Chain A
């Protein structure tokens, strides 16, 4: 590092100013953030996923995710020939530490990161008996952990298995799309940590967001489209064998 004390004289105040809005506790203190200007989604570019597990580790570090539970995880698929209905899938510790070398070279092998799909018509918010889980005005499905009863109905209702009950708070928990980051102009921890750009946060309400061009020029899918959850995590290159 070549930063001298002299550099620090102007660097530190500049960094402090830039940092101020990040450390601000509320969206109000990031005065530019309007929920009405955002409709959050995520793009997962599967041909770029290398299964390194950075996203899983970063999510755990950012959100204090307890061991054994996952707000996001990576699955590895092995599809033999035409048998799309019966892939071999594994996800050792959610892919947190990467994957051991694949045993079989034949067939088709690839990684699929999974997370909460922040469904626009989510079955989990539909079944919550008290209104502890909801979709925010900017499209993020969140859990109010001071209100949640821990009845586990939402965990049962999610088709994607992205919810769990936190062992300490005994309330429902899941990916928050790093709401505390995206409302401050940062990207999610998983996107920040992804080395290949396989995960990209997107704002569907921003006409200049690159996702619009991407959606126009690629074939994209969502998981379990027949469930009609209006999921907002779009996968590029999702194979038919993915469950």
Chain B
């Protein structure tokens, strides 16, 4: 059979989950990571990262809006997806998706953004004309109260929402790791470390993305980059990455040591079919190199421009590496036979519903949405004074 080496169960030859299912955890991971970064300032009072706060929230929202799209497109019967809301099966981690997503979108992210922007929304509703007046007016929910007391209440409520939002973000992305980690039939996926690894790699990717977007935005706006801010963000990126890498290495070492029935088959797969995506792209270029680059900035004092270049390079490599990690988990988990006697090949379509072009389009879309959001809800202080501290 073309593309098959050794023996595969006849129904296993075709892959079930495509590049879109690789993209979905990547997108929700960026959401969770961006939100955790935002919560650093709000809950843990890390003042240094404040310049990225609103941008991180808008980034999270842009990516969260796109996140269900790869799922819809991959379903055999997308018109029935609402059934997850009607009759969710309580034993299925996937059934949680609809509710966790809706909770996180509406009760956490949208509310937090609304509370933080409410003063600006009211002012913009009062000062704009035409459809914008109508739009911002609707967002005010009919309340124009921006007195000091009201804003103080917003501040407290927002703090509470962010506090709830942190475990919610963990849940939003952790459950995806659990979807894979709880499948006993697939030894590449089945490990209690899976939700942990997913979560930490999500945080890494989200922090890297916000770092890059902040630097890019300041560049586009011809504004100076707050170095204290990016230095702090980069240090969080570094430490989170070290934890993430440690978790992945723990899983790997454990596998090699225990050497259960699946090990030889998986080991062979990693050294052959997954060599480029796993060893080269994910581990060498996507993890070890950015960690090394960031470690240098943490240990040696370098001048501003060098640090900026390192951060940009490390950030891009990180995003590439985390995407490769999702690829290696999802696609890698389907390339080997559950008989441990064979391998198949992933034939990715180009212009098909689940093909490469769709994946590229869905990756670009969040940036377009973010651009619109930034225009509607500017993250940077305008002429108006900053929000009063708690």
Contacts and interface: CB of A to CB of B under 8 A. Distances in A.
A128 interface: yes
Given A149-B77, A149-B80, A151-B76, A159 B338 contact: yes
B89 interface: yes
A55 interface: no
B11 interface: yes
Nearest to B333: A156
Interface residues of A, number: 46
Contacts, number: 121
Contact of B76 (A130, A148, A161): A148
Interface stretch (A18-26, A163-171, A188-196): A163-171
B388 interface: no
B297 interface: no
Interface residues of B, number: 41
Contacts of A153: 92, 94, 179
A69 interface: yes
Interface stretch (B33-41, B181-189, B284-292): B181-189
Q: Give the interface SS of chain B, mostly helix, strand, loop or mixed.
A: loop
Contacts of A147: 80, 83
A198 interface: no
Nearest to A174: B11
Nearest to A76: B7
Contact of A162 (B11, B86, B182, B340): B11
Decide if the interface of chain A is mainly helix, strand, loop or mixed. loop
Contact of B95 (A129, A159, A165): A129
A139 interface: no
A130 B341 contact: no
A129 B94 contact: yes
B7 A69 contact: no
Interface in B1-42: 7-12, 14, 16-17
A160 interface: yes
B338 A149 contact: no
B92 A126 contact: yes
B88 interface: yes
Given A87-B341, A164-B11, A156 B16 contact: yes
B338 A161 contact: yes
A114 B10 CA distance: 10
Given A129-B88, A131-B89, A156 B76 contact: no
Contacts of A161: 8-12, 337-339
- Of residues B11, B92, B183, which shows the largest number of chain A Cβ atoms within 10 Å of its Cβ? B11
A17 interface: no
A164 B17 CA distance: 12
Interface stretch (A32-40, A89-97, A176-184): A89-97
B63 interface: no
B345 to A, nearest CB: 16
Contacts of B10: 69-70, 73, 91, 93-94, 161
Contacts of A89: 7, 339, 341
A153 B17 CA distance: 9
Interface in A57-73: 69-70, 73
A171 B77 contact: yes
B91 interface: yes
B336 to A, nearest CB: 12
Interface in B74-109: 74-78, 80-81, 83-84, 86-89, 91-95, 97
Interface string A85-128: 11111110110000000000000000000100000000100111
B11 A150 contact: no
Interface string B182-223: 111110000000000000000000000000000000000000
A127 B94 contact: yes
Contacts of A123: 183-185
B147 to A, nearest CB: 46
A150 B77 contact: yes
A94 B184 CA distance: 25
Contacts of B74: 151
Contact of A128 (B11, B92, B179, B186): B92
Nearest to B6: A89
A158 interface: yes
Contact of B186 (A130, A151, A156): A156
Given A130-B89, A131-B89, A150-B75, A160 B183 contact: no
Contacts of A162: 9, 11
Contact of A165 (B76, B78, B80, B182): B76
A170 B11 contact: no
A12 interface: no
B306 to A, nearest CB: 46
A170 B80 CA distance: 12
A90 B7 contact: yes
B88 A155 contact: no
A243 interface: yes
Interface string B64-80: 00000000001111101
B88 A130 contact: yes
A157 interface: yes
B1 to A, nearest CB: 9
A130 B11 CA distance: 23
Contact of B84 (A129, A148, A158): A129
Give me the 3 closest cross-chain CB pairs, A-B, nearest first: A150-B76, A161-B9, A170-B76
Given A149-B77, A149-B84, 13 more contacts: A73-B10, A123-B184, A127-B183, A130-B84, A131-B89, A148-B77, A149-B81, A150-B75, A156-B16, A156-B186, A159-B184, A161-B9, A171-B76
